[in-house]
Structure 1
Amino acid sequence: MAFDVYTQTLTAAVVDDGTITFSYASGRVFGDYAAGGALLAVPTLQNVFTEDDDEIDVSYGASSIVVTYKGSTTIPKGTTVKFQATRDAADSVVDSLLTTTGVGAVTTEATTDVEEHGDGMFHITKLTLTDFAMGSSGDGANLALGASLYTFPAGAIMVEDSSIVGTINADISVQTDTPEVGLGTVVGAGVQATLGAVNAACENIGGPFAAASVNDGAVAGAGAASNTTGLYIAESGGLSHVVYLNAADGWADVTAAGPVTFTGVVTLKWRKIN
């Protein structure tokens, strides 16, 4: 699936059922676009409104695109909005392996292999982690920990889904703990037994998921309980572009705290809006 992005700075506020008109890009006509899948990114509202969820209506006319906004909050004058239009299937490039265009960056190449699939705007990022270091365990106390594993490229990002499948290991004398695991835009830290107690953004991309143990205990899950419709990361001034793999637990009393590692696959489904 491929998309075109149109940008416009509003000269007037847009209320419920108000419209925004975009002129076609050079060489584009109404027949180049398909119904469904369009979205309107509004940084001032920290939100993305989608055609599929009936939050916007889209009309591809002879000379312009008219987007009808159906949100309850007025979009202020001066806001720079971005409209993403779905290209017709005949014009699309699907599931191509990306190497340089619009991709993010892994944090630790020694323990992370990455594959990027998509068309330069729509992405699926597959991260295969081997003994990925998350931090040090607790010892007879609550502790949250985490480490960065991936950074989205600059620009506005819409994270649509995520999944994690793998095992957690802690090199400690008692390995029966069942920590909470999550993917988020804030790193896990501090004396907390759950990621939500640290910050909701510790698990806003994926989780919370429970590990079976820390003796190569299985952990698996998809999506974020707090963001069932996706997560919008603004170009600037909003959530971090960094993705962290986090864990939190009320750790058992052990001989000494030890390193916590993850081995498995993390998958991120996302769109680059601009």
Structure 2
Amino acid sequence: MVNADEFWANGPARIDTTRPHPARRYDYWLGGKDNFQADRDAAEAIAKVFPHIRTAARENRAFMRRAVSHLAAEAGIRQFLDIGTGLPTANNVHDVAQGIAPESRIVYVDNDPLVLTHARALLTSSAQGATAYIDADVRTPGKILQDPAVRDTLDWNRPVALLLVAVLHFVEDAEDPYGIVRELVGTLPPGSFLVLSHATFDPLDQKTITAMNAVNEGIKPTFSPRTMAEVSRFFAGLDLLEPGIVSVSDWRPEPGPRPTPAEATGYGAVAALP
């Protein structure tokens, strides 16, 4: 019997199972099974120096669900462009949005063939709405915006929610993450929104930061956590919804106890185009 690593390494999806991928590592932290030994090794190396990493992954995912729920239920958004989708889990963007408004339309974007394979099988739309999936990287916003699936699925005369959830910390400064966001946001129709979360080391002690940096040196793509000031730059010219840029656990939280900023280690915010 061929194991999963051998199948994907040699199959039509052409996945490099020897190199960890952020989406598959994230899947492992969330308790998923769509990951390979390289992903698990990298994930465990990070968990060894930062034991709260699974909490951080869950809290980031919960932030996305709350943000999408708010935009669908309160802001009337019916179109979502999710870049850096990650592997399907429970309560994906279309599950949340179409659970509120079945006519919602969603385009998923990721650069991992495994994500796209699973997305096509599992991220199925309601009869009233639509979902589409494209193979592209956040570093190529022009390619994303001109993709026929994006243009055919989303109506660019109506508001769109752009989701950049836990993806920009894999874009180095030299790759111009701020320019990427400006280009994407600059194409959005009036009334659109930006949903963004980003890893940070702000609440961590220096010992943990040093250990995390040492682990991340050997993992690609390069991990680039950013400070509050740096994350704020992504929202330049936009109108932040309350409570602004906060720990992902503190963005419109549900009742009950929640992790500290040092456990969630990520900022999250939703902003409207002026």
The alignment's TM-score, normalised by the length of structure 2, stands at: 0.23
Mark the structure with the bigger radius of gyration: 1
Name whichever structure is richer in strand by fraction. Answer: 1
Larger RCO, structure (CA 8 Å, separation 6 or more): 1
